[in-house]
Chains A and B, each alone.
Chain A
Amino acid sequence: MTLPTSIPESPAVEMQDIVLRFPGVLANDHVSFTLNKGEIHALLGENGAGKSSLMNVLTGLYKPQSGTIRVNSKKVVFNSPKDAILSGIGMIHQHFMLVPNQSVTENILIGLDEPRFTLNLKKYDEKVRELAAQFGLNIDPTAKIWQLSVGEQQRVEILKILYRGANILVLDEPTAVLAPQEADELILTLRGMAAQGKSIVFISHKLNEVRAVADRLTILRKGKTTAEGVPLEGLTKEKLASLMVGREVLFNLKKCDQEAGDTVLMLEDVSAMNNKDLPALKNVSLCLKEGEILGIAGVAGNGQSELVEVITGMRTCTGRIWMGGKNIANKTPQFSIEQGLAHIPEDRVGVGTAPNLSITKNVIMKNFEHEPISHRWRLDYTAANNQAKKLREQYDIQSPSVETQARKLSGGNLQKLILARELSSQPRLVVAMQPTRGLDVGAIEGVQQLLLNQREQGCAILLVSEDLDELMDLSDRIAVMYEGEIVGIVNPKVTDINTIGLMMTGMARRGTACDDGVFPPEAGQADADAGAQTGETDEAAQADAETATPEPPAPPEEEIEPAMPAEEAEYLPPETEKERILRKVRGPDWNKGGRP
């Protein structure tokens, strides 16, 4: 696939000197933005940098105080999103707006003038199917929305926009809600659409992804552009990050080597059902020690949420969960909290905070029953405010005051609030689920460092994440989950990301359960393992990625079950997430000229 080079045609969208002011905030300060036809243009920036505001101007949601917009060289003024759609601009928001009980076709037709009165669904099903096929969006038009996965629902949103004749698509952090595989598929689809002449704006703050998908990029910081329409070639990740954050972002976290201490958490044969009453956890056994980060890898929906819920006392289960000598299985969340458990939930708005309450009221959520916040029946709001002010300072939560409602905080600040609350309780065990999802680079670094600091202080951390790079960086051990089972526990230092990827899809398996106290099991064995793998890596690096078919790592003790005969041929050397995306997007020969 060739990349579109400079196009002599007029740009699809030209935005010039856009100024957008909200009371007290300058969201866009003379921002210019040009989108060429047939390109994917990444719009990068931290939370609150003005990316979404700029795109909301383009899609007619906000009216700028000054500045001009040209679409296909024609000056336009949008008074509503409808005007923008008529000009061929459509936006796919992060949160989908679909009716769960209606079919794909019905959702696509909602709000259109045609069909007027009678509805020949079959005819429209066919139309939708054709449109989907044209852009390689694999979807059944008759399926009901509730039956679809998140990735499929996103495809419906894209189809909805395409059906309305959009040539310019704006996607607001489209991969934030997707599993890695789904994200790859989306990126492929977008590439295909760009090749067919659609122009795409891709809002994101994931650097790897942007580097894989975009042709050019524009970076916003605090409402101003710091890079405008720059081609991606030659920009390093560090450079991008510093343009975004305004300072150097270190991609090497300070993680010290340390011995794990006593066992803090032990799961024995834990099984649980999910919300639909189907088995979600099957005989899970784990243990976790002081000063250790145990990563849980897995494609979303393979039992990670249920695992976290049984540990935090929010779901019933069978089996035993030992913490501090007590069985905390099937007790209340209160009981787990009393044992020194802190929980950083996946859903920051839905579970982690009370959005309409103040920062103060959110900060005291876990310790309001104790002195000095409470004196018998009375709750001392002065003491609570003081605590909130202290934590706001300590964790650098950006807000006008501690009276500010939690819902007015940005994603990163909200997460800091949750971390402040959870970590300030001096927990023995932190259960963190997707702690950096949806955050920008600067915030991610902060959150990860906080977790590492906790580890250093001897806290045990269970880290559930779908970001494999993050797990590799932070974890001391990684347990891989597939269909509610732990298919293996590996040492990230001696395991490559691809093995974990295969385990995540259930194609590989390592026969380890809760090891009996020592990890790595035996130093010699781990070394042998490492040796085997590094050898393989070198070999692969020399050969072409396609033809390299080394033996899969098969250390004597950690057998791999023969569940992967066909995949053995496909076995690739260690690959970073960026490389994986690039390979999927640009074909297997993307790096013919040698590995970067």
Chain B
Amino acid sequence: MRLPYSLQLVKRTEETPKWLPAVTSLGAVVVAFVFSGIVLALMKADPLRIYQYFFRAAFGSWGAFSDVVVKATPLILIGLGCSVAFRMHLWNIGAEGQFYIGAFFASLVVLVPLVPLETTPKFVILSLMAILGLIGGAVYGFIPGVLKARFNINEVITTLMLNYIAVFWNNYWIFGKYSDAGFQMTRTFPNVAWLPRLADLAKQYPVFSGITLHLGVVFGLVAAVIVWLIVYRSRWGYKINLIGDNPRAARYAGIDITRNIILVFMFSGALAGLAGMAEVSGVVHRLQERISTSYGFSGVIVAWLAKLNPYAVIVVSILFGALIVAGREIQPSGVSFMIQGTILFLVISSDVLLKYHVRLVRTEEETA
């Protein structure tokens, strides 16, 4: 049996228009919501009401939106780091581990303490924490980087395994050394180690009371600009581009691939580490067992959905932040994961539209 019409994929021979990737990605998100709506309707729920509720939970008030941005902050940093690594076809899925180690290193400033907390100015303490967070993540990215560059060990396996090690490493210190009265968390950090929040300004500007937005988001925005400059304007970005597209050509052009694999891994890890610092210093205010709700893995997805574009990473991160915040408010909580999964699936499949024209063809005519 043949249908009267059939779809035909015709390979694009001309350049793909610049606006098309954005349009298809957006379309994919819309289709994902429609599809999820159908699933919800089949479950005898009213999708429109649910989406309305979703929207209100995420964007209904400044407080809600600030929660969304707080959730988006680690995603932005991790997504940016991953996007650089992915450009070189390095599948760093170890952002989760790099996040934990970054958080651990940053916490050491307070826990050891590395500087006298009472006398050192807040600015110095926070800078030190940020730097240690960056270093922690970089060190943890260095390990799979060296293994990949020197011994060609698959980075997917190493980064994935290192994630578990990082979690247990943290647990050891939380339980064993810095436990707060036997609970699986350290004592709360003193205020000098807290990233400034908008709520701190509530005395002068009452509008900000209860707004949890912290300085970490600025880290994210600055990092996006830096990553953009690196990728599109710098010599290093060109090297990353070249190695990513054809490592053999890069080697032929005299580029040291080993060195650049390690550097990119460290850069990617450093941003995840900074995300860890921002989370302990800006949100949790102590080191504890579950500081990440798998930000490391969501970050991978964010980087993909943003098609590795640093500014798109910000937008996608906010969408994902919204889904996380709204997901807390709804039962079953799997709904937001379903939407996340469908978006990912559809955005990745929508790449077909960038490479092909879809044509509707009359089958009759074909066989005539």
**A residues adjacent to B (C-beta < 8 A):** 22-25, 77, 79, 312, 314, 332-337, 343, 345, 347, 350-357, 361, 364-366, 368-369, 374, 377-379, 381, 404
Contacts and interface: CB of A to CB of B under 8 A. Distances in A.
Contacts of B233: 378-379, 381
B245 A368 contact: no
B248 A24 contact: no
B246 A350 contact: yes
Nearest to A367: B253
B242 A79 contact: no
B294 interface: no
B362 interface: no
Given A333-B251, A337-B254, A379-B235, A24 B242 contact: no
B238 interface: yes
B358 interface: no
Nearest to A25: B13
B256 A332 contact: yes
Interface in B220-258: 233-238, 241-242, 245-246, 248-256
Contact of B242 (A25, A314, A343, A357): A357
Contact of B238 (A314, A345, A368): A368
Given A332-B254, A365-B253, A366-B254, A379 B248 contact: no
A333 B246 contact: no
A268 B323 CA distance: 67
B235 A314 contact: no
Contacts, number: 77
Best-buried of B234, B236, B254, B256 by chain A (most CB within 10 Å): B254
A26 to B, nearest CB: 13
Which 9 A-B pairs rank lowest in CB-CB distance, beginning with the nearest? Answer: A334-B254, A354-B245, A365-B253, A354-B246, A333-B254, A379-B235, A337-B254, A351-B248, A354-B249
Given A314-B251, A355-B246, A24 B234 contact: no
Contacts of A336: 254
B118 interface: no
B318 to A, nearest CB: 30
A355 B247 CA distance: 11
Nearest to B232: A381
A345 B242 contact: no
27 contacts: A22-B13, A79-B366, A312-B252, A333-B253, A334-B254, A335-B254, A336-B254, A343-B252, A347-B248, A350-B248, A351-B246, A351-B248, A352-B249, A353-B249, A354-B242, A354-B245, A354-B249, A356-B245, A361-B238, A365-B242, A366-B253, A377-B234, A378-B235, A379-B234, A379-B235, A379-B238, A381-B233
A24 B15 CA distance: 12
B235 A355 contact: no
A77 B233 CA distance: 52
A313 B235 CA distance: 23
A351 B235 contact: no
B361 to A, nearest CB: 10
Nearest to A377: B234
B251 A23 contact: no
Nearest to B230: A377
A312 B253 CA distance: 10
A352 B242 CA distance: 12
B254 A24 contact: no
Contacts of B241: 354, 357, 361
A24 B14 contact: yes
Given A333-B253, A333-B254, A369 B246 contact: no
A167 B147 CA distance: 54
Contacts of B254: 332-337, 366
A568 B149 CA distance: 54
B252 A351 contact: yes
Contacts of B237: 379
A352 B246 CA distance: 9
B211 to A, nearest CB: 37
Interface in B247-274: 248-256
A77 B249 CA distance: 43
